[in-house]
Chain A
Amino acid sequence: MKKLILQVAGTLILMLSAIWVQADQLNLRPGVTEISKEVYSLHMLILWICVAIGVVVFGVLFYSVYAHRKSKGVEAAQFHHSTKLELAWTIVPTLILVGMAYPATETLIKMYDTGGEDMTVEVRGYQWKWQYKYLDEDYNRTFSFFSNLATPRSQINNRQVKADTYLLEVDRPLKIPANRKVRFLITAEDVIHAWWVPDFGIKRDAVPGVVNDLWAIVPEPGIYRGQCTELCGKDHGFMPIVVEVLPELEFDAWYASQITTEVVRTESFDDTFSHDQLMVKGEEVYGTYCAACHLAEGQGIPPAFPAIAGSAVAMGPRDDHLRLVIEGVTGSGMQAFGKQLDPVELASVVHYQRHSFGNDAGDLSQPGDVINLSGGQ
């Protein structure tokens, strides 16, 4: 028995010491912003206060356990109160708490100073992706995009070696400039999510119907990663946040190029596409937006997520299918994708669904049809 306990203890000590080697992982990270560094020192201050109190309190306890044993022939004392002592251990902790509350209040006030921003990004949580929208007073310079998990399913299902950024990588990161005050407006479309970038020291719930705000000034360009931190359903663990901080000039150039791309993209809504073009584009859109619930082969996870393969919708009238995707199904996980995808993406994904997984509707869906169905917008 003793031998077994020793062996188990030995293994555990080995494992724990292996972790100790990566000591930087044992603590909160200081982060890169002024706020996150202040939060870190507050964390360390309180941690050390707790350690000090712990050493004293547990020291007394363990000394007592060691010294005041019956087996050492100690006679039990019979005292049972001391007003002075009891007052002391009420007042002293209160003073320590006041000492903690003061710097905490200072930092919190700074965190709430969201005014005077250089630019504003709206962050909108969806099941299970983030939408970033650059807001600008001049509406011509506003655009938005979705940021989806980029880790392939094969890595999640252990069929492929996991990359270093496993589950912390996205197809399109949020890009912001260094050294400028960026204000984030946080909200959600469906359920509550939470947007967190540990290195910036900021986290806020994304609540449907509520707009919260946060801010950050990031001095160092780089890539910063975080995750959704409020349970938001099935793929809560699979909606990371990646923020790429660019040097100011580089950011301005990127922003200008995005505006140009945006113009080209809007113009393509008037085009008509061939079956092959729609299939290529549709497969890409399906993989990003549909496959999480309806699965790669369209078999779905009934009853919550119906199959697309052989479904009445995918084989039925085309406009009904388009309308279902555009408007969603209230009270279910099926979102109104008309708000998330553009007419080209909607037309191609519906076309793809109608001509894959054994479905063969034999028709074409064009961006113009989508625009007609959604009232010309």
Chain B
Amino acid sequence: MSEVIHADHHDDHHHGPEKGLLRWLYTTNHKDIGTLYLWFSFAMFLVGGVLALVIRAELFQPGLQFIQPEFFNQMTTNHGLIMVFGAIMPAFVGLANWLIPMQVGAPDMALPRMNNLSFWILPFAFGMMISTLFMEGGGPNFGWTFYAPLSTTYAPDSVTYFIFAVHLMGASSIMGSINIIATILNMRAPGMTLMKMPLFVWTWLITAYLLIAVMPVLAGAVTMMLFDIHFDTSFFNAAGGGDPVMFQHIFWFFGHPEVYIMILPAFGIVSHIIPTFARKPLFGYSSMVYAVASIAFLSFIVWAHHMFTVGMPLAGQLFFMYSTMLIAVPTGVKVFNWIATMWRGSMTFETPMLFAIAFVVLFTMGGFSGLMLAITPVDYQYHDTYFVVAHFHYVLVPGALFSIIAAVYFWLPKWTGKMYDEALGKLHFWLSFIGVNVTFFPQHFSGLAGMPRRIPDYALQFADFNMVSSIGAFIFGFSQLVFLYILINTIRSGKPAEGRSWDGAKGLEWTLPSPAPYHSFTYPPEVTDAEMQGQ
């Protein structure tokens, strides 16, 4: 309750943001930090995107045209690392910073100074990682999954910088998660029981626990690499009694929950947008919460489906096949609930809604290919081919990324107090939608035809698919500049937005004026059933 007492004598003029650039360095305000996270992740998204376009340019035709294989491997590795750890994850943390205090009726995050630290670690981590590309011997070139011993005994010298960067990213994520959990559990407005929380808050609560559980595992993996490289231990070196397969078990024990870390908050976002534009309560609120919890639990016992070809015993293969297939059940529940929410609604199709519907359709496609990959005997044919590349890009690009873009359009009026240009937003959507499908759909075919992933050059029968895919990638990449233009244009000269910017919008954040005041709720708001989703 101390916030409330504080608020009584805080209520005066000097609590706007500080002036100048130092505002951003010293800030402990959740909105400022949210903004920093979002711009940082957008910058990383563009950097990672440029690397992707280098890859697609090289793969436009068979033969080596622009870059050499060792540089190609650095491109695939850094594209993956930057997109996962630099673009998608910080974007979700940025959204959490902006939205969670407003959605639970709190004035700010629970631990504001730590919030500042967890953001400001990131530019250093990524600065260090990207700088390795310019070092003698090159940057990380062993894939974003950095399997030992390619990433230890056979790695470039710069791998030590990479290990330190991963440690920093992990520290940042863990601090961010602690902050989110502390905020959600301690700072909800009176009357907001757990089962009345908005779904974005629910999904982030569960995601934060996943992060706390698995980031230390990743830290352990890279620390063991560090010891193998510099202190002659043999954790992953077969010649010294170590086991390269153990690296993969440890990595994927982190890595599989990690993929849900990148999709659960997306589920939350879509569960806000669809009811808003259908003007209808979310269907099956409690089953949505239970589905997210089940997915989170299952994510800890399916990791070895990434390793069906390492030669596990039959019993192990069967266990991981069955547990992986089970994930389809709660995921299906979510998709059905979203469609049931749309059913007999009164829908309009503004940009956030378009991205949300595309999310439901294309994420489900990624789910289908995921189910196919779960079937172990067939997975042998798909494993490490472009079929896998198509699968995880379908869940990460029109999945996670589209949900982030949808969230930005949806809450931008609340953040800036201004409305984006709807026609440009729709143009951005259609270019992205077409671009994404032209890029990734043909990759299913090249994978089925037998093209391995992470190769800089390929046999002639894969040429057509790769050319189409490269064209799509350039359409998709350049259409994100439209997004950048829309954002700048909105901030500079958008039309003023109302407090409740969308007529179907529900939730405490919409009870605030637009733009939201620097300190959201200095007094705890009243939590009414009408304002909460569904229940």
Residues of A within 8 A of B (CB): 5, 8-9, 12, 15-16, 18-19, 22, 25-29, 38-39, 42-43, 46-47, 50, 53-54, 57-58, 60-61, 64-65, 68-71, 74-82, 85-86, 89-90, 93-94, 97, 100-101, 104-105, 107-109, 111-112, 127, 155-158, 162, 164-168, 186, 190-192, 194, 196, 198, 201-205, 207-210, 212-213, 226-238, 301, 303-304, 331, 333
Contact = CB atoms under 8 A, between A and B. Distances in A.
Contacts of A232: 150
B154 A205 contact: no
Contact of A229 (B279, B335, B383, B457): B383
B361 A77 contact: no
Contact of A194 (B65, B384, B475): B384
A39 B318 contact: no
A277 B99 CA distance: 77
Interface in B352-381: 357, 360-361, 364-365, 368, 371-372, 375-378, 380-381
B378 A50 contact: no
Given A71-B348, A76-B279, A19 B325 contact: no
A38 B378 CA distance: 9
24 contacts: A38-B377, A54-B364, A57-B335, A58-B361, A61-B339, A64-B339, A64-B347, A74-B347, A76-B344, A80-B281, A80-B284, A86-B337, A93-B328, A104-B378, A155-B63, A157-B64, A162-B62, A168-B459, A202-B380, A208-B244, A209-B244, A226-B450, A229-B385, A237-B454
B62 A104 contact: no
Contact of B332 (A89, A105, A162, A213): A89
A236 B455 contact: yes
Interface of B: 62-65, 69-70, 73, 136-137, 141-143, 147, 149-150, 153-154, 156, 238-239, 242-245, 278-287, 309-311, 314, 317-318, 321-322, 325-326, 328-329, 332-333, 335-337, 339-340, 342-349, 357, 360-361, 364-365, 368, 371-372, 375-378, 380-381, 383-385, 430, 434, 438, 442, 445, 448-450, 452-461, 464-465, 467-468, 471, 475, 534
A5 B479 CA distance: 13
B375 A42 contact: yes
B344 A28 contact: no
B450 A227 contact: yes
Given A57-B335, A58-B361, A76-B345, A158 B65 contact: yes
Name the 6 nearest CB pairs between A and B, nearest first. A209-B238, A237-B455, A212-B311, A76-B346, A80-B281, A77-B344
B375 to A, nearest CB: 5
A42 B471 CA distance: 33
Given A39-B381, A74-B344, A167 B449 contact: no
B346 A70 contact: yes
Contact of B378 (A12, A18, A42, A54): A42
B375 A100 contact: yes
A168 B136 CA distance: 33
B372 A43 contact: yes
A117 to B, nearest CB: 17
Given A81-B284, A331-B153, A158 B459 contact: no
Given A54-B365, A192-B149, 8 more contacts: A15-B467, A42-B375, A46-B371, A54-B364, A85-B340, A86-B333, A158-B63, A209-B244
A42 B372 CA distance: 10
Given A108-B318, A237-B455, A46 B375 contact: yes
Contacts of A166: 62, 459-460
B63 A162 contact: yes
Nearest to A71: B348
Nearest to B71: A234
Contacts of A97: 325-326, 328-329
Nearest to B471: A12
B76 to A, nearest CB: 8
Contacts of B468: 12, 15-16, 19
Nearest to B346: A76
B347 A70 contact: yes
Given A80-B285, A231-B147, A231-B454, A46 B381 contact: no
B311 A207 contact: yes
A235 B357 CA distance: 42
Contacts of B238: 207-210
A198 B63 contact: no
A152 B68 CA distance: 16
Contacts of A155: 63
Nearest to A97: B325
Contacts of A111: 377, 380
A100 B383 contact: no
Contacts of A230: 147, 384
Nearest to B457: A237
A28 B335 CA distance: 28
A238 B457 contact: yes
Contacts of A16: 468
A164 B455 CA distance: 18
B328 A201 contact: no
A127 B468 CA distance: 31
A237 to B, nearest CB: 3
A304 B70 CA distance: 11
A203 B381 contact: yes
Q: Which of A86, A107, A333 is most buried by chain B, counting CB atoms within 10 A of its CB?
A: A86
A25 B449 contact: yes
A337 B302 CA distance: 40
Nearest to B360: A61
A61 B491 CA distance: 34
A101 B322 contact: yes
A167 B345 contact: no
Nearest to A167: B459
B64 A156 contact: yes
Nearest to A81: B284
Contacts of A158: 63-65
Nearest to B384: A229
Contact of B136 (A22, A42, A101, A303): A303
B141 to A, nearest CB: 8
Contacts of B332: 89-90, 93
Contacts of B343: 60, 64, 68, 77
Contact of A333 (B149, B154, B287): B154
Contacts of B333: 86, 89-90
Contact of A70 (B279, B339, B378, B381): B279
Nearest to A155: B63
Nearest to B387: A28
A101 B282 contact: no
A28 B283 CA distance: 39
Nearest to B455: A237
A9 B430 CA distance: 12
A8 B366 CA distance: 26
B239 A209 contact: yes
Contacts of B450: 29, 198, 226-227
B136 A203 contact: no
A81 B448 contact: no
A304 B137 contact: yes
A80 B380 CA distance: 42
A231 B73 contact: yes
Nearest to A75: B346
A26 B381 CA distance: 14
A209 B317 contact: no
Most central of A43, A81, A204 by chain B CB within 10 Å: A81
